[in-house]
Every structure is written in C-alpha cells, then in structure tokens.
Structure 1
Amino acid sequence: MFPPDEDDKISKPVLTKRKCVIEDVIMRNTRKVEPLFVTFANGQPVEGAHLSGTLHQNITRDRRHQHKRILEIETPGLNYDGTNFGKEVSSLSAKQSVFLGILNKATGKMRLIETSSYCVHPVLESTKTTKALLKKSSDLLTFAEKQEAITSAFGSKRAQQSVNRRKLYQVNAQNMSVAIDQATSSVTLDPTYLEVSQEDKTILAILPECNRKASRPEDVYQLESIAPDNFLAYMEDSARELLDGKDPDPKSTLLFKELLAVAKLEEDEENQVRLTCLALYVEYLVTFLNMKGRDIQHMKVKDKNLQGCPPMIKRHILDEYTHNHLNKRVRSSQNEDRAMCCAMVLSLIASKYQLSLSTLLSSLMVTRDKLNTLMKVVGATYVTAKNSYVLKIPLAKLAKPFKKGGPKKRK
C-alpha cells in the first residue's frame, strides 16, 4: 500500500482560543424564559423542519413547584413533550449548568446566560378502531386481568369460583364507595376545620421542600433540592481557604463558627468542603437577615453589602428573598420567615440535626417566642436537658397562629 497524498488528507478544523471579559451573568429566573437546549429522544430535526414549541410553567403559589415546566413541540407528523422535573430529566441539566455566551466582538466583552436542557419524547396515541372486538386488546390488559381471563377459560372449577368471588367483591366495593360518597356529601363541614388546614398550608409555604412523613431525620429535608453541589461550588475557593487554616472574619456569628468546627471534624475531604460551603451560605443568609430595610432598598449585586459573598449567591438571595416595589427592593415579613427557615434547615443539616438555643439567639436578630414558632414550623423540638433544638421523628407539630383578643367572656 502507498501512503496517501497530501491532497487526500482531510484537514481538521483548528480551534482558536479567544480571551474576553465576562461582562454580566444572567441566571435562570422562574418569572422569565431562558434559552433552551432541546434534544429529541428518537432522532434529530432535519433541515427545513417546521417545528412549533410551547413552554408551560406551573403558576401555583407554592414556590417549591414554580420551577416545573413542560415543553411541547408540534410537527406536521408527530408531537413531542419533555419536562425539567421527574425521572425523565436529562443528566445534563440535572448535574450541571450550561451557559450560552454572547460575545461582542467590538468590545471583547461577553454575556453569559444560563440555559435549560430538555429531552423531548414522542407522544404516541392509542390506535383508534371501530371494531368492538379490538377495542379491548390484550395489550391493554394488566397481568392480573390476563391471568383472570385464562383462569376463567381453562382453569379448574375451584379456580374459576375464586375468580368469580373476586369479581363479586369488586362490585360490592364499588357499590360501597357510591354509598360512602352519598353519605359524605350530606355532611355539613365546620368552616373552622377548613380554616385550620388553610393556615397549615400558609405556614408550610415558607419552608423549603419538606417531607413531613419521613421515617428518618435525614429524609425530611434533602440538601440537593435546597442547595445543590453546583450552587455550593461558587463558595468552594473560600471554603478551602478556611479549611487550610485561614482565620474567619472576626465579625462572624457564633453559628458560623460552630458550623465550621463541625465541618472540620469530617474525615472525608469532599464532605468537609461541602459542609464548609454550607456554613458560608448560612452566614450570608444570616447577614442578609440582620441588615436593615433601608440598606436593602437600593441593594445591587455589585454593592459592598454582603462583603465576600460571590455575585451568583448574592443575586440568588436578592431574587429569592426580596421583590421590587416602586423601583426599590423590599424584604417582606414572609420573605424574612422564608430566609430564616432556610438558614435553620441548612444549619440543622450541617450540625447533625441539633442546634444550641443560645447560639441561635446570639446570631439571629429574633425573639425567643418567634424562634420557637419558626422551629416548630421547621419540625424541630426543644430539648430542655440539652438547651437545644433537635430534629427528630416524629416532627414537632405545627404552631397554631396567635389570635388577638383572647377568649370571649361569658355574659
């Protein structure tokens, strides 16, 4: 064989590096639409394909579900849909963030925009038929229904009697459910019961994602849903400096110092860094809560407030726990409660589900009564012997809201 000529060689594209200045970084926001990266599970679009996409968002008041979106794409022959939640989320969007860079060649500056990734699947409808024998195909039957059909046709006499008995019980159960529905529809509910359940929903709305039916304290709150690793990574450099021996800021709260001490006791280096990042985020939240309202009104990401806080973390805190009113940032009482509950939940996770009462009172600008109320909302119980709040199963019952006026006097 002869070596190929130079003209036959396929020239490979040469990648050139370009230096630029990151002018601005725009993070995802539940109130806005970001650029989308869409992949198709069964192929890729051909040139000239006519695609029409619609993005649907959950608009409930529950902030835990406002991030959920459904993408629908219509084509002349087949429709597709995909979500950014559930088991079908692509691994790309679940483990890391993807940014779209827009470069201004004239100035050499670039804007980074966080994107979302969707993997859409074809929507297949059941085959329509007019034949009565094909309407209930064997493919649509469950395994139990197929077993019953075989037993009814070919089974022994005792097996056939057992199948007939089960069908009879199913009919009786349906009749019983109808009777129960009729009975419950005639019952008049006390309006106070509905008010209590609505109050419970309002109280739980200030919490991060919570599983109050969990059987272990570790399962009540999931760190990955509140502060995932890609979020904590923005504080990794500061965390490693503290672990390498750098002294914390003299103005640091006692809560931060205790959480840092707990993190240093971890044997695994990765857990040390993660818990130290968690302690830093709690410290930024506490600093934000201790700020006065007038200092927040004109607060921006590039301000000196929250000194040392990475811009991404500061932007997240402002977007999550303030809102704009008459061109000013406002931190409402509900925002304060949400931020404080988040700080308490993360502190409980970082401190192995136990927090000292004196540490919390010295670090947070909060009264003892308000602290007790919020801790009950979180699910922690005050243990007198330890002078601490402990997250244990069963969780503490929700605190009932205080009603002014007291009991009515009898006339």
Structure 2
Amino acid sequence: MAAATWRYRGDLEAERPAALVRFANGRLRSPESLRFTVYRSRDTAHPRKRHRRILVSETERLCYVGHNFGSGVMRCNSLCRYFVGVLDKESGQMEVYNAEMFNMQPLLSDNLIPDDTKDYQKKSYREKVDLCIEAFGTSKQKRALSSRRMNAVGSDIVSTAVTKAAANIIDAKGVTALMQDVAQDDVQTISAFLPPCHEDADRPEHVYKFEDILSPTEYEALRVPAAALASATAEDIARRAEERSHCSFVLEELKFLPADEKSRDHKARCLWFLDTLIKFSHLKVIKKKHPMGPECPHIISRKLMKSFTSLTYNNGSVQNLVSASMKAKITAYVIVLALHINNFQTDLTVLQNDMKLQESRILDIAKALRLKISKAKGGLGLENDQNHKLGTLSLPLPVQKAPAGQRKRRKIN
C-alpha cells in the first residue's frame, strides 16, 4: 500500500460534525446493531442554539440519550477538539472530519411499563431528564434539581405576592396618582438623553455648550459638505424647497445667512448637521454602513451610529436601531443646535413637523431642557392662525416641576 496521506474535510455535513459516543453504564454486547437518531434545534438563526443536538439510540432493553448542551454536557467538548479519520486502504488517502463526543445515558422511569407510555411521551425533554437525575443522578445533580424546583415554587409565591401588592397600591393610591408618577418617570427618562447642562452658567450659550454638540474635529469635518449651503443663491434655495431636499427649518434659515463669510460658514455647518440629524431620526433599522450617503464625512457617520442608535439582536445578527429613546435624544440635540443658530429662541412647532413628532412629545423634551414655552403666530408652511410654540433659553433657568396632572384630551366633534 502507498504511503498514507490525509486531507482535512471539516464537518461531515453542513454544520454537522461526526458523532463519537460513549455509554455511561458500560460496554454494549453488539454495538454494530445500534441505530442512532439525531435531533437538531429548529432555531438555526441563533448562533448558540443552532449547534444544539440530541442523539438518541435504542436497544432491546434500554433507550439512550446524549446531548451537547445543558448542565450535563461533557466538558471535554469545550476543552478539546476531536477528529475522525476515514482511510481508503487502496489509495492510502485519509479523509479527516470534525467530531463531537456524546455521553449516552440510559433513559429510565420507575413507573414506566410497556402498556402505559402515554403520560411519559407527553412529558417535556426537561422533565424526562429530571426523571433520569432522580433515578441515576449524582448527589450534586439531585441537590441542583431540588434547588431548582424550590426556586420555581418560590417564584410562583413571589408572583402572587406582587400581584396582590399591586392591587393594594392601586386601591390605596388611586389610578390618577399612579399616572402622575408614570409621567414623572417619563420626564426623568427623557433627562437621561439630554446634552450636558451647565446650570451655573452666566450666559445662555454656556448652558449647553456648542462643543458638547459638535467637537472641534467634527466641526472641521463639516466644512466641505456645508460649502454648498453657504454658497446657495435665492434660486438654489427655491429649487431645494421645490425638491424638498432639506427640512423646513433649514430652508427658512438659508434665506437669512449672514453676509460675513465666517459667520455664514458657521451657520451653514450648523444647518447641515441639523438637517442630517433630522433625516437620521426618520430611519428605523440601520442596514447600510453609511446610511446618510457618501457625502457625509466618516467622523459624522461614526458619531451618528455611536451616539444616536441602540444595538439590537435580530435574526442571528446585531443591528443598529433608532429606537424611541434615541429619537428623543436626537430631538434634544436638534433643539439645542437650533437654539445656537437662532440666538437661543427657536420655533418648536417647525421642528416638530420636520421630525414628525406629537406636540406633547417635543414640549416634554423642551421642558426637560429647561426652556420657557410661549406662543406666537407663524407661517412656514402652516396656517397663519395656527399657534406656534416658541422655546426660549434664558437665565435663570426655570425649576423643573413634576407634571400637575394628565393633559386634557381634545374632544372630537
């Protein structure tokens, strides 16, 4: 025979290594007559569950079960790697495959007789394993089983106690007071996503510093994309308004760019970033590496993904999501940036329409930012008789108060 050579083949089938079995209760007299059945997890998308397998074998006297997950799994699978070689004696070629070790344990029950298997078949896999532990488990396994069952009973008792306590609180405090507490919690939740606030500032521009919105490096990166806004003519602005390439707030502010070149460039950069934030808030799940397009600087794309998205697990992969809390954070940063653009007074109604928010939502965020809310008549695509809400940042900052109660619902005639 020629000198043997070997070749690594990986898994015997797709994501299915070969199985090496050992029987916990000794050696079998005729192992060649055994037939094995493999059960795989249906959750193929989950990176951990998709590799779970259960190996079942049956002899004339006993059933055997082995698995590669759970508390009773053999530790050697995580500490060592196993391989199986299949040698072709004629060619001298050996095919090497991945392998996995299974510890086959007998499946028994004290009250199981051939004519009474219906109740046993209805039991879950967990319950069947518990029966095996009761019959053949070690002292440690039996203690763990007893502890788990006691915890299950304790959980039921706690759940009943919590339900009873909740009912007592509702009876004692009333639904109205509880709704006020929920509203206060909502304000506190919003506050967690606000820009850093310097309450001891002596000037409005120092309450929410511009550097906390855009770092010097990020600000410098906006010079190139904002150049088109800084050089926009009246015809360009009219065309952009017709194409709706920018939000209403930005289109209106482009009409009033300063004549001074430095101030004009500064305002153009702020407007470009504000417009990008509003467009980003309309997204749901971020699937692209550069969701705002190739013209958006890399450092700005990284800031958007890192600061204004939350990670979520879906279909076996991690995704970036613009959640409701992240949209609240974006809204807070948009309002603060608009304050810096408009001498610390801005039209909240225009921003509300651009961001497609309810008025109550943007007012809650504005109040959390310690703005004074007032009314004013205004246009900008709305009816002249529609009241606009203005937000003003002035010193001293108003004291945050808990909501006085639920807002009155508008009656629909």
When normalised by structure 1's length, the TM-score is 0.45
Work out which of the two has the higher radius of gyration on C-alpha atoms and give 1 or 2. Answer: 2
